[in-house]
Structure 1
């Protein structure tokens, strides 16, 4: 078999728990298909749907599955590979064999799925994020395409999130492996990057480490000297002394569990004095947030702790003025820290966000803020034992945003604009690690990757 699986009972127990949670209904899961990059046979790398992997494990295209909570049975739909398929891609085990490996005794051809569903009621499905699956569902369920996006099952969404939010010991082992690879990717970049190189040369080294260890990229690499742009995928700049290089990169291992780490280090061997001040403040934000992690605290509260730490540091640097608590209540920190402190992580780098950010990251009945900065909190819910997530504070000096606030004299009772303008072309700093909530606090996932200033300078000088 071309892919690795957990033991049969892992998948059997997951499906059993889902049936118990749902109690009734035909639960329909579509796997992903291969997608042509620029013509049908030149495909993007195949990536199976994560929820399909969670319940069924089989990592090949062209599958669907039914969990019948009424009949208490599971059916895997797919076809054995044809002779033509064997010629081009090599042999695969039979559908019956693969199904047996994940505890499924009944299989059927994919062509039988429509007939199976034709006389069934209470068919429930998750919101499809790929157009091809939207079209499939429209045909299978005889519903207008526009309705498919509306008629998904909220009950099923909540049941799946209720399971996938809490990682088992087996899953944590896989996440540790992904984080280990991710740490090696970043260490390689710290050791390799030199003035005069292009960003893409360093990105190539980061990617190389992931593939050398049997992994892949969990998401497109962010590697840039323009760290003030939060999701910057351009890699064409030349590294120069005085630049900061921000790298946000993570691996997914062969079971598709993800790591997501960020480091920001000097292209020179040492940080400048101005860079030291901002970098150490980000580290203080991170450490204060980590110290607060425990079951029962909301991640919105932890985000607030990081934001208040930022304000205190900016007051010390003279960039801000006035009362710290009043500055926080007026959202002054959002000039520098526009995104949330972190997000869930697991089989997806932004775990389960295809099921709806509000359902994954927020308590039932709570609403996301619409205010600048706060609206970008992906995770705000109460933390519980077994939840895994990122901690990624940042400070960004975005020239366009600074100009906008300066021209409006926005919050000038708190902002020393004369001092702020000295940082206008600073760029940005972000540092990120992954954590799991334990019974008493939290534990970092994966091997240690240097993050403190003296550690990074020692690597850059070696």
Structure 2
């Protein structure tokens, strides 16, 4: 990927993106025996016994076509041989800000019909709902147009969504730029002695996104809180001493996500920083394994061996790395998967799909939390996120089990106050060397 590719005007990439979506949709409709693809953007959901709505989340099948993420009540219609149609809800409303009329570099690719009330969409949807593959959640039903989510159509579209178009990679890069800028602000807040809550606010301010706009809830963990894989408590008060900082936080851009994790030591010359550096070096090597034809399951298994080697080097393991992997001891310190697909969703769909006709590629035995088992191919975008943690619950199980003597418990006690380490990049598989979106954008900022 060249510098010009990285800074490409989205309008120059979008036409081919929409053409590819139409090609995929035609095949998916043929597989399912349908004439039309109908995709609602989604609707607002209200809390039971209350009049407050939950934060709106656009249907991923909808935002794949159009860069719209705040437009409930709209519809996308595709019929092979015809221009895609966007039925766009722009309601009469003086309680809220009304969406602007569609405009910009993408509009010319659609027949745009503006409606003022949700029911008006019916006049612009295909005549026979039974001939439509309708992709969405049940609450999006409108008259006869209730989502049916036919498996042959879903299987095909979601399988091929793993392969990002150049437009999608460009959008993911823009999300990454926002995320990297925010990560640098979060690190600065940590080094200034801020609380988890204040670090989170610094992150949102730098990303220019509030919590509902971010692709997932920020994980902002100081000290031992880094041992909680999905820690989201956001303590309001700073600890008396900040030893370590783990942040797993992303950003969004026109519906696409980035997913970045970094870990920092308060003492840049201390042993915990050396442990971070060792994991970082191993993670870079893992990212380089994102090559066409490589089995992602093997990448996960290789990561266990590499991380066990680090534990051995730092005096935690008393046994060999190979033995730690074989006995499951490595899983005590690395208890999650090496990563997942990413794109329109942080955990992109069809991670276990055997083919575009369905089927499942099982996870390796003893590794229940791996989210992707496919062989890597050009166009796939994945995360690589190895970690080493000192989790009390898992350590207690190890201590009570038959392999308790395979580790140095005094050494573990030294590391427990630091919680853990995770480093995560978003990487695109190509015909040649992988493109590490995260590292490239950190280098650009730095």
Under TM normalisation by the shorter chain, which class is it? 0.7 to 0.9
Residue 22 (structure 2) aligned to one of 8, 15, 18: 15
The DSSP-based 3-state class of the residue aligned with 2:39 is strand
Change (3 A) 1:66 1:360: farther
Q: What is the rounded CA distance, in whole Å, between the counterparts of 2:416 and 2:294 in structure 1?
A: 35
The alpha-carbon deviation at position 87 of structure 1 amounts to 7.2
CA distance in 1, matches of 2:106, 2:51: 27
Give yes or no for contact 2:89–2:118 (8 Å, CA) kept in 1: yes
Instruction: Tell me, yes or no, if structure 1 residue 170 matches structure 2 residue 174.
Output: no
C-alpha distance in structure 2 between counterparts of 1:261 and 1:99, whole Å? 28
Task: Look up the SS of the partner of 2:65 in the other structure.
Answer: helix
Residue pair 1:210, 1:216 contacting (<8 A) in 2 also: no
- CA–CA distance in 2 between the matches of 1:107 and 1:193? 47
**1:102 and 2:95 equivalent?**
no
1:380 is aligned to 2:383: no
2:133 is paired with a residue of what secondary structure? Answer: strand
Q: Which moved more, 1:359-368 or 1:153-162?
A: 359-368
1:55 is matched with 65
Of 84, 89, 106, the match for 2:97: 89
Q: Return the match for 1:217 from 209, 214, 217.
A: 214
Contact 1:185 1:205 in 2 (8 A): yes
Instruction: Give the Cα–Cα distance (whole angstroms) in 2 for the partners of residues 259 and 102 of structure 1.
Output: 26
Q: What secondary structure is seen at the aligned counterpart in 1 of 2:152?
A: helix
CA–CA distance in structure 2, aligned partners of residues 32 and 220 of structure 1: 21
Could you list the runs of 5+ residues in structure 1 that have no partner in the other structure?
143-147, 451-458
Q: Alpha-carbon deviations, 1:353-396, whole Å to 9, x = none?
A: xxx5533999944213463xx11111221111111111111111
Alignment of 1:59-458 (within 5 A): 59=69, 60-68=71-79, 74-77=84-87, 79-82=89-92, 85=93, 88-90=96-98, 92-93=100-101, 101-104=108-111, 110-111=118-119, 119-121=128-130, 123-126=132-135, 128=136, 133-137=137-141, 140=144, 152-194=149-191, 196-211=193-208, 216-225=213-222, 226-236=225-235, 237-253=237-253, 255-266=254-265, 268-270=266-268, 272-273=270-271, 275-352=272-349, 357-359=351-353, 364-369=359-364, 371=366, 374-407=367-400, 409-412=401-404, 414-446=406-438, 447-449=440-442
CA distance in 1, matches of 2:441, 2:19: 35
- Deviation, 1:336, is 0.4
Q: Measured at CA, do residues 196 and 324 of structure 1 come closer, stay the same or move farther in structure 2, by a change above 3 Å?
A: closer
- Residues 204-213 or 309-318, more deviating: 204-213
Question: TM-score, with normalisation over the residues of structure 1?
Answer: 0.79
TM-fit CA distance, 1:17: 2.9
Structure 1 residue matching 2:398: 3-state secondary structure: helix
8 Å Cα contact 2:297/2:364 also seen in 1: no
Task: Give the Cα separation in 2 of the matches to 1:39 and 1:423.
Answer: 47
What does residue 6 of structure 2 align with?
none
Q: TM-score, normalised by structure 2?
A: 0.81
8 Å Cα contact 2:176/2:441 also seen in 1: no
Range 239-248 or range 171-180, more displaced: 239-248
Aligned residue for 1:16, secondary structure, equals helix
More displaced stretch, 359-368 vs 228-237: 359-368
Distance 1:291 1:425, change over 3 A: same
3-state SS in 2 of match to 1:227: helix
**Distance (Å, rounded) in 1 between the aligned partners of 2:292 and 2:62:** 29
Tell me, in whole angstroms, the C-alpha distance in 2 between the residues paired with 1:438 and 1:218: 25
Shift in Å, 1:208: 0.1
Instruction: Name the structure 1 match of 2:7.
Output: none
Shift of 1:38: 9.0
Distance 1:418 1:105 in 2: 67
Root-mean-square deviation (CA, aligned residues, Å) is 3.7
Distance 1:421 1:245 in 2: 18
**Kept in 2: contact 1:77–1:110 (CA 8 A):** no
State the aligned residue count: 422
1:33-78 per-residue CA deviation (whole Å, 9 max, x = no partner) reads 2345799876555442222011244441102334345x86755445
- Name the CA distance, whole Å, in 1 between partners of 2:221 and 2:275: 17
Task: Note the C-alpha offset of 1:283.
Answer: 1.4
Q: Is the 8 A contact 2:249 2:259 kept in 1?
A: yes
